[in-house]
Chains A and B, each alone.
Chain A
Amino acid sequence: QKEVEQDPGPLSVPEGAIVSLNCTYSNSAFQYFMWYRQYSRKGPELLMYTYSSGNKEDGRFTAQVDKSSKYISLFIRDSQPSDSATYLCAMTTDSWGKFQFGAGTQVVVTP
């Protein structure tokens, strides 16, 4: 069983809709959680970074962490065609920073 599970999609939504992405994990020691966006044939770009449980908002993006359920989410409001990409979750323990990545969810926002 993988340490981090992420639905591969594709997730297709109309422009303006809310995109909801999530990851589940098995290691309760994870404390730092990240979301990356990756466009085709590019490297991942850091979107959101959260520590422990709770919510964090940055513009149209909201990240949620529920450590009791071992579940993290990313919400994208007012989605745009430029949000079409693969979204990767990543997490690490309170150690030297070795990350575990999800396989990514492909998102397609149609005009």
Chain B
Amino acid sequence: EADIYQTPRYLVIGTGKKITLECSQTMGHDKMYWYQQDPGMELHLIHYSYGVNSTEKGDLSSESTVSRIRTEHFPLTLESARPSHTSQYLCASSDLAQREQYFGPGTRLTVT
């Protein structure tokens, strides 16, 4: 079982609030990813990182930002939450030499 953690698991928050979704992995993986998943839809890549101080935007336009100050930690921040941000957010990681991605349990965000 992959050691990748996300907190909180569930979050209900009001419009306009700033939120940070946490993701940590203990596997020493260089690559980390954030995906957004809506019911019945494919996962959409919103951010990724190859390593410390490396961050890139993914395919899906997102108003969120990420940082990668430590290898094991890849938080995602929404400066001002909106109802359109309501979704499940999945964090994943993989080793540079491997193709398989390992996922965390997800954070289900509801913005009211």
The count of residues in chain A whose C-beta lies closer than 8 Å to any C-beta of chain B is 26
Q: Are B90 and A43 in contact (CB under 8 A)?
A: yes
In the bound complex, how far is the Cα of B40 from the Cα of A90, in angstroms? 15
Q: Specify which chain A residues have a CB less than 8 angstroms from the CB of B104 in the assembled complex.
A: 43
A-B contact count (CB 8 A): 56
Interface presence of B41 (CB below 8 A): yes
In the bound complex, how far is the Cα of B100 from the Cα of A97, in angstroms? 8
B54-106 residues with Cβ-Cβ distance < 8 A to A are 58, 90, 92, 94, 99-106
In the bound complex, how far is the Cα of B41 from the Cα of A88, in angstroms? 10
Q: Specify which chain B residues have a CB less than 8 angstroms from the CB of A41 in the assembled complex.
A: 106, 108
Q: Specify which chain A residues have a CB less than 8 angstroms from the CB of B105 in the assembled complex.
A: 42-43
A-B contact pairs, 17 of them (CB 8 A): A2-B42, A8-B40, A34-B101, A41-B106, A41-B108, A43-B90, A43-B106, A44-B43, A49-B99, A92-B99, A97-B99, A98-B48, A98-B58, A99-B43, A100-B42, A101-B42, A104-B40
Which residues of B come within 8 Å of A, CB atoms? 2, 6, 31, 40-43, 45, 48, 50, 58, 90, 92, 94, 99-106, 108
